[in-house]
Amino acid sequence: MLPNRAVYDDDHAQLRDSLRRFVSAEVAPHFDAWEKAGIVDRSYWDAIGRTGFLCPSTPEDYGGLGADFRMHTVVAEELAYSGFMGPAADASVHSDVCLGYLLAHATPEQKERWLPGMVDGSIVCAIAMSEPGTGSDLQGIRTRAVRDGDDWIINGAKTFISNGQHADIVITVCRTQEGRGSGNMSLIVIETDTAGYSRGRNLDKLGQTSADTSELSFTDVRVPVANTLGAEGAAMSILMSELPQERLIIAVTSLAAAQKAYDLTVEYTRERHTFGQPVASYQNTRYKLAELKTDLTVGWAFVDQCIVRHLNKELSTYEASMAKYWVTEMQGRVVDACVQLHGGYGFMREYEICRLYADARVQRIYGGTSEIMKELISRNL
């Protein structure tokens, strides 16, 4: 089970119970089919939208609960701990990443158009940064938006876009002026029923196979200038202000998934016998589990510290980068050790630990690779 922590109160405990019931009724029965299909069904968005779990910090005026960020982290933790990382990742990108951009930078008219649908699941949101050949080099982006009267004409391509297949709106990083300077890019919200917008293939991945991850292309896509999110030329400053929350939520989900792997392994080693005794009785097993338990406990303490600092609007880019870097690397160590303690069964996909191992690998890549995190951290030495 996820540990009890002082950062949460009784209301959050009740929320966890509701989430577990939701997962049992609406996710677990369909998860295997979604994994085989390589995508969650659109009905998932309808179901989770009815619960109030999507975009909970959205103000009540736009259909939300007006909750603080802790409700986001509780939802992220419970969905990740369920072991169903595809649906967890999809919901997190929508609620924990995209929503922040709209709450902080959208105009009242934009909020009125998009936020109520994001809360009830009728509008799925994605954010499109990465492009073929650019990776983490955001200033190398080539997708271009050219002003034509009251419209932008957008041409280009994006890849590795979470929620790309289901998305109804896509927050898109576009170059609106020539040159690599940080003031030459803008965020433009593209509605996906616009002519010239095209979804490419749903990408076949190592893990999190039911997470919707896509290629997108734009051919003379005409978008109103009124869809610009924030000021023209402000994309980099907006991204820098919102990326700490994205990296913190990745740390949260990584930690919850690592905790699930550990809990499964403790149970397995107690039940599995070799040479007439439980695997858990061997000194090597006990010492390894003690190491993992310590890593997890340290991780929860640091993540909770970051949650509190984020609630107080004090979380720095460097702290969020440290959380994302350390926790995702720790998750990799934990799940690898847990597979080893399962022996040959850990390599079988019918065992949940095998899927958790595959699902964990991307956590060190998206949201900024571990190498990029170390670069950011090093700038504050």
Q: Catalytic residue numbers?
A: 246
Alpha carbons 230 and 107: distance in angstroms, whole number: 8
| CA–centroid distance for 110 within its chain | 23
CB 114 within 8 A of CB 157: no
Alpha carbons 176 and 341: distance in angstroms, whole number: 53
The DSSP symbol for 346 reads G
CB 50 within 8 A of CB 121: yes
Sign of CA dihedral 178, 179, 182, 183: negative
Alpha carbons 239 and 234: distance in angstroms, whole number: 9
Planar angle of CA 373, 375, 377, nearest 5 degrees: 70
Alpha carbons 67 and 361: distance in angstroms, whole number: 31
Alpha carbons 345 and 201: distance in angstroms, whole number: 33
- Tokens 């103000």, residue located: 59
Alpha carbons 75 and 88: distance in angstroms, whole number: 9
Look up residue 97 and give its two tokens: 């990443």
Alpha carbons 219 and 199: distance in angstroms, whole number: 11
- Total Cβ atoms within 10 A of residue 250: 27
Burial class for 352, CB neighbours closer than 10 Å (0-12, 13-18, 19+): middle
Alpha carbons 165 and 198: distance in angstroms, whole number: 10
State which amino acid sits at residue 158: K
